[in-house]
Amino acid sequence: MIELRNGGFAYPGGASLFENLNFTLGRGESLSILGPNGVGKTTLLKTLLGFLPLGEGEFHIEGCGKGKEFWNIVSYIPQAKTPSFAFTVLDMVLMGRASSVGIGRAPGKKDYEKARDALTLTGMSHLEDRPVNRISGGQLQLALIARGLVKDPSLMILDEPESNLDMKNQLIILDILDYLKREKNTTIIMNTHYPEHALRLSERALLLGKNCRYRSGETHEVVTEQSIREYFQVESALIEYSRGDRNIRGILPIHHI
């Protein structure tokens, strides 16, 4: 069980970015964090990860402390950005084992096995020897997800994993995240600019707005035409499409207010 209780944050000398935020998540559940630019979505992720101190309240993962213990079960997947040095995809993914490879040691056979498993799961095996500056943005994001997977995390925190990707790559990422939830019981928290991705993947959603307003709850209750109007100042239509046993919902933006 993962819980944020009365979470609040303000930059030094600035107004509060958010306050009194609450959510709880069970194992294998997913939370999408939505909201317009500048309301503190990334800041919220950074406070959950401990990169920024939570001003008030606390973020708690059942049975898990801080520091090394935290990073043994939590993976953070940043937005895909080519690193300064163009490691191969395999070397990049191997770095995900850093918490279990001691100082002064290098990854061993087991670490390589884990890395290759993660590459297989993300469909990236054929690119393992390719330098990361010679793969596409979508492939780099998949490599970063693979890197996050090698420690078998219970919680994955992703910062806009589908931004800057084409439609097919977006769906590939969402399918992988959905698989991890169902098959590996991984809990997922992600920022997204796409309400339909929240509807597709997450049971729960957190919609952040200006002046510390927020709405939290089940995704279909949070992502509505009315809340999109209120929080984004956009008129939209909620559309539903069924094929077989799949029911897909999306938000069609009409015009801004």
Q: Which residues bind another protein (CB under 8 A)?
A: 46, 49, 51, 68, 71-72, 74-76, 78, 83-88, 91, 95-96, 98-101, 103-107, 129, 131, 133-134, 147, 151
Shortest spacing between CB 114 and another protein, in angstroms: 13
**Beta carbon nearer to another protein, 53 or 244:** 53
Residue 15 to residue 23: CA distance in whole angstroms: 22
Name the CA dihedral angle for 209, 211, 213, 219, rounded to a multiple of 10 degrees.
Answer: 10
CA distance 257 to 43: 27
* 59 vs 71, beta carbon nearer another protein: 71
Closer residue to another protein (CB): 91 or 235 = 91
Residues 99/151, Cβ–Cβ less than 8 Å: yes
Q: Name the residue nearer to another protein (CB basis): 95 or 238.
A: 95
Q: Least distance to another protein from the beta carbon of 163, Å? A: 17
- We find the least distance from the C-beta atom of residue 58 to another protein, in angstroms, to be 20
Tokens of 108: 């061993």
CB of 7 to another protein, least distance (A): 19
Q: What is the rounded distance in angstroms from the CA atom of residue 211 to the CA atom of residue 248?
A: 32
d(CA 6, CA 57): 5
